[in-house]
Chains A and B, each alone.
Chain A
């Protein structure tokens, strides 16, 4: 298939022919785990998910289970721990924090220090209806700041809970924590790229960035309680991010078991960027971040 393509990338060619590239593995910095009420996910069973990851040479994925995000976080965080213990070579975790359970946020620092394989926190402000700048997240963000941990924050353009502008504000408040902007502030690309360019502790994360979100096309819209910003076309966005913020500020993500790793990788492999940029996005930048936060 596609044997006559003029894309000069050797990495892309190897992926097209074999589904992977041994010299260019993938580290996925934005995963989940298990089923979700909102939609049907064929890869929800962990064995199916793992198989799909291995087929694309995804060596590591950092996850927060749906259960940790859409029910009391404790049960889901335990599920993450069990999964990490069972497959320590594949899975790392983000400790999910939900400000609607303040007692769990207050003890998150202690909990995560006793856990194995967690590299930071996951915040989902739009869905939990609490601003990332608000007091509810502060106990976890203070811990991340003290211990130089990662914080993956769902961000979306125009949101009153997690816009790129709000993420930039909180990143300046906690300069020793490293913030990954989940979905790169989808739709408000300029603000997101500016934050990643200007702030040393802010990174762009690609989950869904390669997707044209037209919520008018989806019955029931999206699962958030708020209307999401649509964006009818995104081709060229990865090139734009590389040009403005550099590939050293971009990490790869899929929301697996949501988006196919091959689909997401295809958007990076067929972008007009250099092989070095592809390596930075697909694994090198993530490798550095994980080494710093104890996940390597």
Chain B
């Protein structure tokens, strides 16, 4: 089965996990250990240091490692740290980046129309997915302002957030959930029944958590084989193919 991980990371951080991949090569060794074929990766520096430095460094560091696809983290354009949206997207295009990430808590900004009003409509137009690690209610507010945005909610858990999540999933068909922290028994199965298997994307969460955990969970989820294949990689790959940076 084709497994395409949308949430994994390598590189040093100020407070690193007990075990992690320092380089792209080490990340691939970890993927091989688990039987994961491909990954949409980011560098720890993009989250815990600065995307200004590490977006470009990521592209350099994964060059030549075909199992890895690059993602960039976004910052507000008002401070001038990040290129203006058109320029940013052009750079993204030439670097082969097809999906973006946002870490609004780590980067102390609001992920809303006021702050990202110049960039987000372009992402809607070009179907560029935004992988967001943030409180699920803030993601709901974002989608209310920019309803066409393709958003993947990352690290949804570890508690069951269904009472917050389901009203949003009902309202916004382009809201997706990444599975690394979707670990409460029965949630994957019920999501497939309620929404079909199209709304979940496999993420290992490595090295926030052990890759094998979300992997065994998905491997043994009580769902049909085609649903498992969609979550393992099919949904993500369709999303990346649709993106036109």
Task: Show the binding face of A for B, using Cβ within 8 Å.
Answer: 1-7, 12, 15-16, 19, 38-43, 48-49, 52, 55-56, 208, 210-214, 216-219, 222, 232-240, 256-267, 269-272
Question: How many residue pairs at the A-B interface have CB separations less than 8 Å?
Answer: 190
Q: Are B220 and A19 in contact (CB under 8 A)?
A: yes
B205 close to chain A: CB less than 8 A: yes
Q: List 14 A-B contacts (CB under 8 A).
A: A2-B36, A2-B219, A16-B219, A39-B163, A42-B160, A212-B155, A234-B17, A234-B210, A237-B18, A259-B158, A260-B217, A263-B214, A263-B216, A270-B34
In the assembled complex, the Cα of A269 lies from the Cα of B209 at a distance in Å of 13
Which residue of the partner chain B has the closest CB to A189? B18
- The reply to whether B185 and A211 contact each other, CB–CB distance below 8 Å, is no
For A256, the chain B residues whose CB sits under 8 A away are 185
Contact of B209 among A1, A15, A235, A240 (CB under 8 A): A235
How far apart are the CA atoms of A49 and B186 in the complex, in Å?
9
Q: Is the CB of A15 within 8 A of B216?
A: yes
Which residues of B are at the interface with A, using a C-beta cutoff of 8 A?
1, 3, 15-20, 32-36, 105, 133-137, 155, 157-164, 181, 183-187, 189-190, 205-220, 222, 228, 232
Which one, B3, B18, B205, contacts A236 given CB within 8 A?
Answer: B18
**Contact yes or no, A42 B217, CB < 8 A:** no
Which residue from chain A places its CB closest to the CB of B136 in the assembled complex?
A219
Measured in the bound complex, the distance between the Cα atoms of B36 and A145 in whole Å is 48
Q: In the complex, what distance in Å separates the CA atom of A61 from the CA atom of B31?
A: 32
- Docked-complex contact B208 and A234, CB < 8 angstroms: yes
Q: Which residues of A lie under 8 Å from residue B214 when comparing CB positions?
A: 263, 266
Complex: A45 Cα to B187 Cα, angstroms: 14
Quick check: B213 and A6 within 8 Å, CB to CB? no
Q: Which residues of A contact B160 (CB under 8 A)?
A: 39-42, 258
Q: How far is the CA of A69 from the CA of B69 in the complex (A)?
A: 47
Residues of A within 8 A of B218 (CB): 1
The answer to whether B184 touches A41 (Cβ under 8 A) is yes
Q: Is the pair A7, B33 in contact by a Cβ cutoff of 8 Å?
A: yes
Q: Which residue of B lies closest to A234 (CB)?
A: B209
